[in-house]
Structure 1
């Protein structure tokens, strides 16, 4: 990863989709470009895995679960509280079902 034109840190997107209970697909995106895809056994597990990314200038992720977004989350928060972020996403998902 390189810094953007303004010299700011990079923020990627983590999109998590439920395939079935205990089986989630996570995709890491930079804009529309998919950088990685992996499976996880839960939302918190996907967040935890991304929090371990070793990319220069990466400062955080926009974290989505299906159609809802928890916001832009710093790497440090992803490491400290992946379960809390996952719970926020589940609460939003339940409240905003289409």
Structure 2
């Protein structure tokens, strides 16, 4: 999970103008993590393919980071999605089943 989060936060630092926000919470037995930035956002033509291998943004490196993140999140039973904020910037959301009271 750490690798997935590092990949996502690394992308946010690459594309943010000044600010990155990380939100963590529990909602209806789901752990939710949202990473957003105040950059230009994700181009509409890239969004459907963002988590595919070798898909890169303008300043991207190999195009593997988000594909690896998706694989990690899905193997942990979670979901990952991306979009653009209402005003600006990219938003990447992760959700996982909360495991409560494992005794």
Greater length-normalized contact order (CA 8 Å, ≥ 6 residues apart): 2
TM-score exceeds 0.5: no
Q: TM-score, length-normalised on structure 2? A: 0.28
Q: TM-score, length-normalised on structure 1? A: 0.29
Higher strand share: 1
Which has more radius of gyration? 2
